[in-house]
A = this chain, B = another copy of it.
Amino acid sequence: MANIKPSLAKGTRDFSPLEMEKRNHIFNTLKTVFKKFGYNEIQTPSFENLSTLTGKYGEEGDKLIFKILNSGDYLAKAPAELLESSSANKLIPHISEKALRYDLTVPFARYVVMHQHALTLPFKRFQIQPVWRADRPQRGRYREFYQCDVDVVGSPSLLNEAEFILIYNEALAALGLTDFTIKINNRKILTGIAEVLGKPELIVDMTVAIDKLDKIGLDGVNKELLERGFSEEDLETLRPIILLAGSNLQKLDSLKQVLASSTTGLAGIQEIEEVFAYIEAFGASSLLDKIVEVDITLARGLNYYTGCIFEVKTNEVAMGSIGGGGRYDDLTGMFGLKDLTGVGVSFGADRIYDVLEELSLFPSSSAASTQVLLINFDKALESYTLRLLADLRKVGIAAELYPAAVKLKKQMSYADDKKIPYVLLIGDEEVNSGELSLKNMLTGEQRKLGISALQELLQNKD
């Protein structure tokens, strides 16, 4: 076999034990919250038929889908003229019929359509799985990364939207974040604004421009709006909307005046008000003062969402959004099942990881799985030590014996590296007295205690 110096594929990562513990801390926290709100887990395959994915993510998205080469003689069905002319793009469907999952939404839509007769609606599911994109890797952008999606299909009730706000709040608080903002907008409000301006056909241009307010400021937005076909008069009308300020209620009141002539726009405002009413009924009105923020410049995924739109950002660290979502009234239409409404949100696990790391919010016990290392002094003592090891494990304590009687220093540094909190030193004296020497690796403190006291201490530690 060739002697290759191995490397990772570009844009991918290994996760070592410490990273896995931290990642699992995030995933488990999310799962616990999702389940508490009645969501059940599903998983879909890593690869789908290429035809299931193609055309769902726009032309740019299609390019970023990883295609899997057919197995066997994959060129057998390839037209000779495409090979001879090196027509890479046209050749793809002839040599590849499968592709890696690009997101969790399209596979979920496929799942709902295929299982529609077995599903009880509303169907509430969460899904935490990797997705793959042939993006150019850069800091914080990987070719393999996890998405954490939670969606409900078949329920038009705005109770769902309200619960997503609660889910965001509870999950992020459980992860230790204390200052974050959940932005809310509604596609119908954006439609209403374009209507009031008399330019409904320019809604996409309008939202693309005002979405950039944070980055390019009002002058930049105005310049872009003019370029995209709006008039100076439109800018006058838009200014108070773009610069909307005050409490959420004040913002909604101002919007009602501006959108008085648009039924659609008023419907969008009313949807947000209903979501807020649900939050109040849940006894969580403090969220509306502190965490939830009406932001009509929020326009993510406009081609997709039809009702409420969400985006979440932390205010403790400079970081893009750590979550987002919204309602899409035709989730499954792409697969021929019409009029099935869906609403859902997503958590950006990789970004949340970076935020928690920067704020040192991972629990310190994250690193430890083994709670106690039994030092191996002597082959002759092994039988005593092994019996003790078995007894510790019997009561659920994660324990291990260093597998060779090497120098103490080496065994101690094994415990250190593995972040094992306790070490048990068992010599002849200990075997005779039954009193074991336990060293706390964090404090360095060493004490003697009997087996039952030891078990109790380690179990409480857990």
Contacts and interface: CB of A to CB of B under 8 A. Distances in A.
Given A83-B83, A91-B75, A404-B157, A399 B38 contact: yes
A288 to B, nearest CB: 15
Contacts of A95: 69
A215 to B, nearest CB: 29
Interface string A39-53: 111111111110110
Contact of A159 (B16, B51, B403): B403
Contacts of A6: 49, 52, 110, 113-114, 335
A248 B51 CA distance: 57
B12 A47 contact: yes
Contact of A45 (B71, B134, B144): B144
Interface in A119-156: 120, 122, 124-125, 130, 132, 134, 144, 152, 155-156
Given A46-B132, A398-B38, A71 B75 contact: no
Q: How large is the interface on A (under 10, 10 to 19, 20 to 34, 35 or more residues)?
A: 35 or more
A236 interface: no
This protein's copies in its complex: 2
Contacts of A7: 49, 52, 114
B36 A17 contact: no
A282 interface: yes
Contacts of A152: 403
B12 A387 contact: no
A397 B115 contact: no
A55 B6 CA distance: 14
Nearest to A39: B369
B9 A98 contact: yes
Nearest to A89: B73
A56 interface: yes
A60 interface: no
Interface of A: 1-9, 12-17, 20-21, 24, 35-49, 51-52, 55-56, 63-64, 66-69, 71-76, 78, 80, 83-84, 86-88, 91-92, 95-98, 100, 110-111, 113-115, 118, 120, 122, 124-125, 130, 132, 134, 144, 152, 155-157, 159-160, 278, 281-284, 333-336, 369-370, 373, 382-383, 386-387, 389-390, 393, 396-401, 403-404, 413-414, 417-418
Given A1-B55, A9-B48, A160-B403, 12 more contacts: A9-B49, A15-B42, A36-B397, A36-B398, A40-B418, A64-B71, A67-B69, A69-B69, A69-B95, A78-B86, A83-B84, A282-B386
User: 8 nearest interchain CB pairs?
Assistant: A38-B400, A12-B45, A17-B40, A157-B403, A71-B134, A120-B417, A281-B386, A281-B383
